[in-house]
Structure 1
Amino acid sequence: MDDAGSLPRRLLASCALPHAWAGLPAWTVLDTGFADIAPFLHCWHSWQADVHRPCMLHYVGMLTLAEAQQLPERTRQTAQTAAPWQPLADALALACADLGSGQHRILLAEGQLSLTLCVGDTAALMAEQSFLANTVWARPTDHHWDKWRIKALARCSQRGARLSLDITSPEAPAWLTEAGYVDVQQDGNRLTACFQPRWSLGARDQAPPATRARRCTIVGAGISGASVARALARRGWQVTVLDQHAAAAGGASGLPAGLVVPHVSADDSPRSRMSRVGASLMLQHAAALLEDGRDWQATGVQEHDLELGTTRWHAGGAWIRPARLVQAWLDHPAIHCRYDAPVAGMQRREGLWQLMGPDGNIWAESELVVLANATGCVPLMLNPAHRHFLAEGLVQRLEFLHAVHGTVSYATHNSRPLPAHWPTHPVNGHGNFLPQVPLEGGAAWLVGSTFEPDRIPEQAGHRLAPLADQHRANAQRLCELLPTVGADVAPAFARNEVLHWSATRCVTHDRLPWVGALDDGLNGAIPSLWIHAGMGARGLTFSALGAELLVARMCGEPWPLESSLARSLDVRRPKRRRN
C-alpha cells in the first residue's frame, strides 16, 4: 500500500513528469481517483517549483458526490503530511466547499492551474469530456476497470500520452494493447503504458492547437471581449482589443452595478446548471482581481417570486461593478487595447486576419479573431463583402440577434445609516434592488432595469419610451418587489432627484449566449473566426464561463462544462422556441 508521500512521486515518475512537460505551453492530466488528493497536490507543487513548467496546467479530476462533500476536510488532512502542500491545500479546500453533482471549473495559481472537477458517475462523466490528456492516472473509482472503460480512457488520450492504471485483472494488458497502448509494464497492481496506436486517429493525430500560443484580435472591450482577452493572455497569447468607444466598457458593460446570481428551476434545467458554473467562475475572478466592498461584495441575494409568494436565498450571490471588472481583466501586459477604433472591414491575407477602420486603415492583424461587439457584429458580418467568411447557415443565424434597451434608476443616500426596514443585501425577482453600492458620487441605491425589446438604436425611426416613463416603470417595479422601500424613495422620483443609466444589451432568440466558431477550419485546422456575444441581462453570470469555453475550444483544452451543456451555448445550436 502506498503512503501519502510515495504514491504521488511514483505516479509522476511513471508518466515521466516533470521532464515530459518541460518547455510546452500546456499540459493536461486526467485523474479518475481525485478523492485521494495527494497526487494532485504533489503535481501542483512540482509544477509550481519547475522553472521549465508549462504556462498552463489543466487537471481533470473525477469523484463521487459523497467524496466531493468530504473533499475540503480530506484536503486539510492530506496537507499535514507535507508542509509545502499546506498553502495549496488551504486554497483548494476553500474553492471546493459545497460541490454538487456535475462539472466545476476552479482557477488556481492566478488562473494558470485550471482544475476541472467532475462529480458523479465516472463512466457518464467520461462520456461528456472533450479533451485529450497528456497524462492519465486511472486510479480506483466507483467502478471496476474493464475493457470498455479502458477504451474510454483511450478516447481521452493524446497520441504519446502516458497511462498509470490500478487494476488486478490478468486480462488488463491485453485490453490495453487492444485499445492502442504499447510498452505495457506491471508493478504490483499498477500497469503503466503509452498510448501509441498503430492506426490513424484522424484529426487527433494533428498537432494540438495549444502547441504554440498565437495572436488574437478581439472586437469589443466590454465584458464579453475582456473576459476572452484575459483568458487568452493567461495562456501566453498576444491579444489586441479594438473598440469603437473612447474607453473600455463603453456599452452595456458600463452598468453602475449588477448582480451575480444563478438561475434556479424546479427541474434543474441546463440554464440553471450552466448559470451555477458561470456564477462560481465570476466570483473567483472578482475575488482575485477586485477590491472587496468597493468593486464587488459577496452579500448574498434574496430572490422574491411574486407569483408564488415565496423567497429564496442565494448565499453565493454578489453585486459587482462591471466596468471595474472589465478594466481589471484588460490590465495585463499581453493585452493591447485600441479605443476609438471602429471596425468597418476585414480580410484574410496569407493566413492572417486584417481588421480595418472606415478609411481602410489596418487596426490589427492576427491568426484568430473573436467578435465580442454585441449587435455590432451583425452589420459587420452581413456586409456582402464579409458574408463568405461565415459557415453555412450562419448568415441567417446572425439575423436572430436583437437588442434590448434598459434603464437603471439610482440615487445617492441622503441619510445614514439606512432605514432599519431596508434590506442589507440585494433583492431580485421582479427587477432588482441594490440597497447600497459605493459609486463615484457616494453610496447609492439602484433599481432596474427597464426592458424594451427588439430595439436597435442605430435603426432609422427608433424611439425609446420617454425617460420619465422609464423611471416610472422602475419605481412601480420596486413598489411591487419591496413596497416599503418603494414608498421611501417615491419622493426622490417625484422631485426628479433620481439619476439614470441606459444602454442596449445584445440578446439571442433563447436568451443564452453565443459561444462558438463562425467559420470552418481549413484542412482540419481549428476555426479562426469566433463569436462571444448575446449575454443579454446575464453578462455577469455567463461571460467568464463563455470565455473559458471559447478558449478551451480554441486551444484543445478540457471544457468547463459537460459537452451536452456546452452545445446549448454553441452559435450553431438548433433554433428552438422559448417556453
Structure 2
Amino acid sequence: MLPASGTAASSAMDWQGRAQFTVFDSDYGDGERFRTLLQRWRDDGARPARLHYIALHASPLPGFRRIPQMDAGVTLDLLCAPLDEALAQLDARLDAITLHAIAGTSFARALARLAAPGARLTASALTTAQAHTLGGAGFACTSGPDGTLRAVFTTRKPPSPWMRTPEPQRRAIVLGAGIAGAAACERLCARGWHVTLVERHAQAASEASGNQAGIYMPLLSQDDNVMTRLSRAAFLYALAYWDTLGGIGPGARIHGAACGVLQLARGAQHAGVQRAIAERHGYPSEYAQWLEEGPASALLGSAAPDGAWLFRQAGWAQPASVCAAMLDACGSRLVRRFGAGSVRLVHGAGQWSALDASGTLVASAPVVIVANGTGARHLAQTDALPLASVRGQVTYLAEGALPALPFVLCREAYLTPAVKGWHSLGASYDADPDPALRQASQLENLVKIGSMLDNPALGGAAPLAGRVGFRCVAPDRLPLVGALPQQDDGARIERLRQVPRQNGLYGLLGYASRGLAWAPLAAELLASQLDGEPLPLEAELAAALDPARFLVRARRRL
C-alpha cells in the first residue's frame, strides 16, 4: 500500500508470496512514489514476480499509455483521463489504492469493481460523504489522527466476467517469425514463458516483414476515433519498447532512423480538415506539428502548396532487424523451428500439436498463437476469419535518382531516405496473388512519388527493382488480438463475452501495412491477457481488437 504522504511503499508482507501485485495511484505527480516503490521491489527478496503501477497522469495526449521498463517484471501505466472515466475503462485487479484529493463519490463503486479481496486503500482529503460511500461499497474504513483514511476491501464477490484466468502452463507455440510472431515471443519470454517458434521459411522475416524498410508513424483524426487512439498508444509504446531492445539508429541494435516523417496534405479540402485537427487537439510539436505551405515547402525543398504534418518522432526501420532484436532478447526460453513448411494444428488432451506436411510433430504446447499473417487463411482453425491477402509491391530506386531528403515523405505512398544505396517507394495495394515484380505497379509507385516531389517525369526509365509482399488485412483495418472464436450453432450473440473460444488458441493478425507500430503493443496486450495482468489499453480499445468482433457483428443482426 502506498501511504498518501508519499513515504515508503508497501512492506514485504503486503505482497509476499504473490505472483503479481498491482497498485493504483490517483495522481502520478512527479513519479517519486513510483520510484520509491520500484526500489523497494528491487530490494525485497520476497517480492512478487510482477509489479504493476497504474496512475493518473496529466498529459496533452489523452488515453492509456504503457511505458516499458528496463526491469522486465515491472509495468508502468499512465492514464490521461478523468478518474471516473479511467476507472470505467481500466481492466485490472487492484491490490493497493492511493487516493488524493478527488471530487464526487462515483469512484467508490468503480474501485469496488476493480479491487482484489483484501485490497488496501489509503486516502487523503476525503469528505465524510466520500468515506461513507466507500464503506457502502465494501471498504472497511478507519481514520487516523492526521485525517488520513485507511481501508481494506472486505466484500466477498465472484470474479467479474471480464477477469481472465492466467494460463496454468506457461508454454506456447508461436506460428510465424515475422514482426507479429517475433514480438509475441519476446513479450512471453520476458514473462518467463517457454516458447517454440515455428516458421515455414528457413529464416525470420521472410514474408511481409522482409522489406528493406518500413515506416512507423501515428494516425490523426478530427474525432480522435478508435483507430487514432489505438495508433497513438501503439506508436508511443513502440518507441519506448525499442529502446529496451537496444534502440534504433546508427550503431543501435535496430537498423533504421527516427528521422521524422513529412505527410503532405492531399489537396486544399484535405488541408482544411488537417488544420482543424491541429487546432482542436493541440498536439505537442514533437508528436505532431501542422505546417502551412511556407514551412512545409521549405522543409521539402519543393512546392507543398497544401501544407503537411511533421511527425518528428516517426521514421523508418528495417523489419528484419526488429525481428532479430526481439528474438535475440528471448534468450534460452525460445526454441526456433525454422524451415518447417506448412503446418496444421491438432488439439487433444489439453495440448496443441503442430504437424508438418508429412504428419511429423514439430512442436506441442497448451497454447498456440497464430501470428503468421496471410498463412492464417490456410489453417482449419482460422480460415473463417475475415482476413484478406493484399499484394504490396515496393519499388527500389538507386541513391541519387531522387532528392536526398533526410526524412520519410508520404502521402498516397511513401519514400524513404536511401538505405544501403537504395530508396524504398510504395507500396502498391493490389487485390491479386501475383508474387512477381511487375512494371504496372512500379509505374504506379513512381507516379505517386513524382506527384509528391512535383516531378511528373520521375523514374520513367527506372529498372524494375523491388519486392512483393502480402499484407494480412481485416475489413476494419484493425489487428486481431486475443482468443480466437469457435464456430458454434449460429445463435444470436450480443456481447463478446458470449462468444465461445477455441481452447488455448490465440491470434495476432491483420496488421495490414502498420506492423512495425502495431506489433509491440499488440503482443504486450496478448501477453497481459494470457497472464491475467492489467491490460495496457482501455477496455473499449481492447474489445475493438478482439478477433470475435466480426462474429458478434454478424450475429447481432439475426
With the length of structure 1 as denominator, give the TM-score of the two structures: 0.79
Q: Does 1:238 align with 2:236?
A: no
Deviation at 1:506, TM superposition (A): 0.6
Query: 1:326 maps to what in 2?
Result: 323
Q: Does 1:109 align with 2:70?
A: yes
Supply the distance in 2 between the matched residues of 1:234 and 1:466 (Cα, whole angstroms). 39
Given that residues 3 and 122 in structure 2 are in contact (C-alpha distance below 8 angstroms), is that contact kept between their aligned partners in structure 1?
no
Q: Secondary structure in 1 aligned to 2:389?
A: strand
Q: Secondary structure in 1 aligned to 2:441?
A: helix
Q: Which residue, 234, 237, 240 being the options, matches 1:284?
A: 240
Given that residues 29 and 59 in structure 1 are in contact (C-alpha distance below 8 angstroms), is that contact kept between their aligned partners in structure 2?
yes
Alpha-carbon spacing, 1:429–1:361, altered in 2? closer, same or farther (3 Å): same
Give deviations 1:34-78, integer Å, cap 9, x for gaps.
Answer: 125321110111122333433332111113x3xx3xxxxxxxxxx
Give deviations 1:520-540, integer Å, cap 9, x for gaps.
Answer: 799x99952111101011111
Supply the distance in 2 between the matched residues of 1:511 and 1:494 (Cα, whole angstroms). 35
Q: Which residue, 99, 112, 126 being the options, matches 1:154?
A: 112
Q: Secondary structure in 1 aligned to 2:506?
A: strand
Q: Which residue, 520, 526, 540 being the options, matches 1:550?
A: 526
Unaligned runs of 5+ in 2: 269-305, 487-496
Supply the distance in 1 between the matched residues of 2:89 and 2:95 (Cα, whole angstroms). 18
Query: 1:407 maps to what in 2?
Result: 393
Q: Which residue, 176, 181, 205 being the options, matches 1:249?
A: 205
Q: Does 1:296 align with 2:256?
A: yes
Which stretch shifts more, 160-169 or 246-255? 160-169
Deviation at 1:190, TM superposition (A): 2.0
Q: Does 1:482 align with 2:442?
A: no
Given that residues 393 and 437 in structure 2 are in contact (C-alpha distance below 8 angstroms), is that contact kept between their aligned partners in structure 1?
no
Given that residues 373 and 471 in structure 2 are in contact (C-alpha distance below 8 angstroms), is that contact kept between their aligned partners in structure 1?
yes
Alpha-carbon spacing, 1:284–1:202, altered in 2? closer, same or farther (3 Å): closer
Query: 2:310 maps to what in 1?
Result: 313
Give deviations 1:271-318, integer Å, cap 9, x for gaps.
Answer: 111111111111222233244226121111000122333311112211
Alpha-carbon spacing, 1:573–1:187, altered in 2? closer, same or farther (3 Å): farther
Given that residues 213 and 235 in structure 1 are in contact (C-alpha distance below 8 angstroms), is that contact kept between their aligned partners in structure 2?
no
Alpha-carbon spacing, 1:526–1:8, altered in 2? closer, same or farther (3 Å): farther
Query: 2:172 maps to what in 1?
Result: 216
Alpha-carbon spacing, 1:184–1:340, altered in 2? closer, same or farther (3 Å): farther
Given that residues 129 and 562 in structure 1 are in contact (C-alpha distance below 8 angstroms), is that contact kept between their aligned partners in structure 2?
yes
Supply the distance in 1 between the matched residues of 2:72 and 2:79 (Cα, whole angstroms). 19
> More helix per residue: 1 or 2?
1
Query: 1:84 maps to what in 2?
Result: none
Alpha-carbon spacing, 1:194–1:352, altered in 2? closer, same or farther (3 Å): farther
Q: Which residue, 28, 38, 49 being the options, matches 1:44?
A: 38
Query: 1:536 maps to what in 2?
Result: 512
Supply the distance in 1 between the matched residues of 2:350 and 2:89 (Cα, whole angstroms). 33
Amino acid at match of 1:481: M
Deviation at 1:244, TM superposition (A): 0.4
Deviation at 1:122, TM superposition (A): 1.0
Deviation at 1:326, TM superposition (A): 0.7
Amino acid at match of 1:305: A
Alpha-carbon spacing, 1:554–1:525, altered in 2? closer, same or farther (3 Å): farther
Supply the distance in 1 between the matched residues of 2:36 and 2:318 (Cα, whole angstroms). 37
Deviation at 1:351, TM superposition (A): 1.8
Supply the distance in 2 between the matched residues of 1:113 and 1:215 (Cα, whole angstroms). 21
Supply the distance in 1 between the matched residues of 2:228 and 2:61 (Cα, whole angstroms). 13
With the length of structure 2 as denominator, give the TM-score of the two structures: 0.82
Alpha-carbon spacing, 1:527–1:180, altered in 2? closer, same or farther (3 Å): farther
Given that residues 33 and 140 in structure 1 are in contact (C-alpha distance below 8 angstroms), is that contact kept between their aligned partners in structure 2?
no
Query: 1:363 maps to what in 2?
Result: 362
Query: 1:264 maps to what in 2?
Result: 220
Q: Which residue, 14, 28, 35 being the options, matches 1:34?
A: 28
Deviation at 1:363, TM superposition (A): 1.5
Supply the distance in 2 between the matched residues of 1:187 and 1:150 (Cα, whole angstroms). 23
Within a 5 Å distance, the mapping from 1:117-516 to structure 2 comes to 117-141=78-102, 143-144=103-104, 146=105, 148-170=106-128, 174-182=132-140, 184=142, 186=144, 188-201=146-159, 208-209=165-166, 214-289=170-245, 290-293=247-250, 295-308=255-268, 309-331=306-328, 332-333=330-331, 334-381=333-380, 386=381, 396=384, 398=385, 400-413=386-399, 422-437=404-419, 442-453=420-431, 455=432, 457=433, 463=434, 467-484=438-455, 490=459, 494=461, 496=463, 499-516=465-482
Given that residues 164 and 529 in structure 2 are in contact (C-alpha distance below 8 angstroms), is that contact kept between their aligned partners in structure 1?
no
Q: Does 1:517 align with 2:495?
A: no
Give deviations 1:219-258, integer Å, cap 9, x for gaps.
Answer: 1111111111111111111111111011111110111111
Alpha-carbon spacing, 1:372–1:5, altered in 2? closer, same or farther (3 Å): closer
Deviation at 1:156, TM superposition (A): 1.2
RMSD: 3.0
Deviation at 1:113, TM superposition (A): 2.2
Supply the distance in 2 between the matched residues of 1:305 and 1:376 (Cα, whole angstroms). 35
Give deviations 1:526-578, integer Å, cap 9, x for gaps.
Answer: 9521111010111112111211222222222222221122222111224879x
Q: Secondary structure in 1 aligned to 2:533?
A: coil
Deviation at 1:165, TM superposition (A): 2.4
Supply the distance in 1 between the matched residues of 2:124 and 2:216 (Cα, whole angstroms). 42
Percent identical pairs in the alignment equals 28
Q: Secondary structure in 2 aligned to 1:192?
A: strand
Given that residues 481 and 509 in structure 2 are in contact (C-alpha distance below 8 angstroms), is that contact kept between their aligned partners in structure 1?
yes
Given that residues 4 and 100 in structure 2 are in contact (C-alpha distance below 8 angstroms), is that contact kept between their aligned partners in structure 1?
no
Alpha-carbon spacing, 1:111–1:305, altered in 2? closer, same or farther (3 Å): farther
Q: Which residue, 18, 26, 32 being the options, matches 2:12?
A: 18
Given that residues 116 and 558 in structure 1 are in contact (C-alpha distance below 8 angstroms), is that contact kept between their aligned partners in structure 2?
no
Given that residues 101 and 119 in structure 1 are in contact (C-alpha distance below 8 angstroms), is that contact kept between their aligned partners in structure 2?
yes
